[in-house]
Amino acid sequence: MAKYVYGIDLGTTYSCIAYVDESGRANVIKNLEGTNTTPSVVNFASPNQVVVGQVAKETAVIDPKNTVSLVKTLMGKSNFAINYNDEDKSPEEVSAYILRKLAEDAAKEIDAEVKDVVITCPAYFGTAERTATKNAGIIAGLNVLEIISEPVAAAIYYGCTKEPEEKTILVYDLGGGTFDVTIMSINSEKIEIICSDGDHDLGGKDWDSATMRYLADEFASQKSYDGDFDEYAQQDLRLKAEKAKQQLSAKEKTPVIVEAAGERARIDFSREKFDEITFSLLNSTVDKTDAAIAVAEKRGFKVDEILLVGGSTRMPQVTRVLEEKYGIKPKILEPDEAVAKGAAIHAVNVYINDQPTLSKWDEDNKGSVTSDSVLDPSNSVEQLSVDPAMMSIGGKKRSIVVATTKSFAVEAIVNKEPKCCNMIIKNNSMPDGVITVSQTFGTYIANQETAEIVVYESDFMDEYFDIDKDYEIGTATLELPDNLPSGAPIEIILSLNSEGILEVTGKDLTSNKEIHATMQSKNIMTSEEVEDLRKKSQQMVLM
């Protein structure tokens, strides 16, 4: 059987899987319904059956209570996505069904095993969200080679990494539920993320909602109707609004038939009207883009190219505004597929180059992968059906220099007031995949018995910010020797790796006593929970 590795774009509204074939081309693999992308919608049909994709999206109209959409917006933030059959389902479990649908359909479509995957996530995802994404892959029974950022995958697909000269690229990614802007410096050997920003609650769905409001108002005035739309009419309106929005990407006008309360109205919807009612949404993406450009410019980078990714960049308003504002004609190429294809190309790269990492990953996760997924470094290159030389990556390792996606702070008394003191700041470069920062604080009172190191993860970039327990990710307690005066030096070292794992060291410099702790963000499942869910969810039949 041919051996391939895969790239999966686990999107907020649509997901996609791709692989690199024997000719070195990245291809998207169709699902069993025959489409290149699969709606990221899951419907719990019975205690042992789940429906994923287009059918689930349509079922949402008649069974909204048992259907989950936009689950990606919950990843790493909550342990709860839906209650079905008196059982709380986590976002990881729900996402795992989407991944399984992609993997199982792809395996049938190309008649090959789908096991080793690179999954993508937004660049601004922090530790919790990335770990949740990886856990979803494990629950789906996949071997997750790496989680990479969507804009990095897109840049790999656009071929930006093939050019030897250094370029600064801005990736504007407007998907169904998220907006992400990333600036990278790229050449054939290295991709360095300079900064990224985004809004994980802004995407095509908001353009749909604006359209729904407009259509509902027009319906109300045409039919002199002042009641609400019931659940069925709302879902129906949402599907029609999305369709109308997509049609306006190709033509100037489209008719929409709105049905509610037993009445029907025909509304003529124009692109001009659509642009007008969604102007503020587009503007907020431009504000984020401006902010990212300002950060990059401060560090001496000037944007050379703009790449568009995400289905919503098909809206002509996006290209128009970006070109007007920045004087660069954005490049747009298969916006729904670029991320999955780039991830597939990267998967080949990782598979060939990172065998020690893979073996180590297997060791670390004993029990959560089956023995047949343990890779043998000596023959893995031969195993792959694609020759990397044909892909012009030539088996060479391309380094990806990431930047911190979050700021990390510790609690300290500043001017007699407790404050969070940022030690690692968001968008700092991590040249070797690690960033280590040390700072020395003093004990607050004499004879202090312990030093409590309270760590916070946030998007704040100032040196200090007010304490907010919502951002707390963990605590480490350092026992102190007797009779310390106030102001006795305590060194705190924070070390963050590219997987987002934070190691905390507290050192009492008087006695040289140390404490080490690994911080997990909130809402991260334990490996036992992941393993239990993997076993349990495998019993569910996908339809």
Which chain residues interact with ligand AMP by CB under 6 A?
11-14, 37, 175-176, 204-205, 242, 245-246, 249, 310-312, 314-315, 336
- Own/partner contacts of 88-93, CB < 8 Å, gap of 24 or more, are 89/44, 90/525, 90/533, 91/132, 91/136, 92/132, 92/135, 92/136, 92/139, 92/525, 92/530, 92/533, 93/136, 93/139, 93/533, 93/537
Q: How many CA within 13 A on the CB side of residue 310?
A: 30
The answer to whether 311 touches 337, Cβ cutoff 8 Å, is: no
| Nearest distance from C-beta of residue 225 to ligand AMP, angstroms | 27
The answer to whether 80 touches 63, Cβ cutoff 8 Å, is: no
| Nearest distance from C-beta of residue 388 to ligand AMP, angstroms | 28
| Nearest distance from C-beta of residue 288 to ligand AMP, angstroms | 17
Token output for 469: 């327990």
| Nearest distance from C-beta of residue 178 to ligand AMP, angstroms | 7
Q: What number of residues does the chain have? A: 543
3-state secondary structure 503-517: EEEEEECCCCEEEEE
Query: Closest CB to ligand AMP among 7 and 175?
Result: 175
Bridge partners for 267 per DSSP: 256
Give the H/E segment covering residue 96. Answer: helix 91-110
| Nearest distance from C-beta of residue 267 to ligand AMP, angstroms | 18
Handedness of CA 340, 345, 351, 357 (dihedral sign): negative
Query: Closest CB to ligand AMP among 12 and 405?
Result: 12
| Nearest distance from C-beta of residue 260 to ligand AMP, angstroms | 22
Token output for 288: 């984020």
Query: Closest CB to ligand AMP among 66 and 69?
Result: 69
Nearest-angstrom CA–CA distance, 164 and 437: 33
Q: Give the strand order in the sheet containing 489-497.
A: 434-442, 489-497, 502-508, 513-519
In this structure, what are the phi and psi dihedrals at residue 477, rounded to the nearest 5 degrees? Answer: -110, 120
CA 470 → CA 2, 108, 423, distances in Å? Answer: 48, 45, 18
Query: Closest CB to ligand AMP among 40 and 289?
Result: 40
| Nearest distance from C-beta of residue 67 to ligand AMP, angstroms | 17
The contacts of residue 381 (CB under 8 Å, 6+ apart) are 352, 388, 395
Query: Closest CB to ligand AMP among 249 and 359?
Result: 249
Query: Closest CB to ligand AMP among 37 and 353?
Result: 37
| Nearest distance from C-beta of residue 150 to ligand AMP, angstroms | 9
Query: Closest CB to ligand AMP among 116 and 336?
Result: 336
The answer to whether 340 touches 119, Cβ cutoff 8 Å, is: no
Nearest-angstrom CA–CA distance, 320 and 460: 32
| Nearest distance from C-beta of residue 405 to ligand AMP, angstroms | 20
In terms of Cβ atoms closer than 10 Å to its own Cβ (0-12, 13-18, 19+), residue 437 is middle
| Nearest distance from C-beta of residue 321 to ligand AMP, angstroms | 14
Give the residue among 515, 347, 305 at the shortest CA–CA distance from 8.
347
| Nearest distance from C-beta of residue 249 to ligand AMP, angstroms | 3
Q: How many helices (H) and strands (E) does the chain have?
A: 13, 30
CA 512 → CA 452, 466, 485, 494, distances in Å? Answer: 16, 31, 15, 17
The answer to whether 64 touches 47, Cβ cutoff 8 Å, is: no
- State the Cα angle at 371 between 370 and 376, rounded to 5°: 130
Query: Closest CB to ligand AMP among 157 and 471?
Result: 157
In this structure, what are the phi and psi dihedrals at residue 432, rounded to the nearest 5 degrees? Answer: -105, 20
Query: Closest CB to ligand AMP among 37 and 285?
Result: 37
Query: Closest CB to ligand AMP among 246 and 385?
Result: 246
- Angle of helix 54-62 relative to helix 231-247, nearest 10 degrees, comes to 140
Query: Closest CB to ligand AMP among 119 and 454?
Result: 119
Q: How many CA within 13 A on the CB side of residue 236?
A: 14
Query: Closest CB to ligand AMP among 319 and 537?
Result: 319
| Nearest distance from C-beta of residue 254 to ligand AMP, angstroms | 11
Query: Closest CB to ligand AMP among 238 and 507?
Result: 238
Query: Closest CB to ligand AMP among 35 and 78?
Result: 35
| Nearest distance from C-beta of residue 205 to ligand AMP, angstroms | 6
Nearest-angstrom CA–CA distance, 85 and 102: 25
| Nearest distance from C-beta of residue 204 to ligand AMP, angstroms | 2
Ranked by CB distance to ligand AMP, the top (closest) residue is: 204
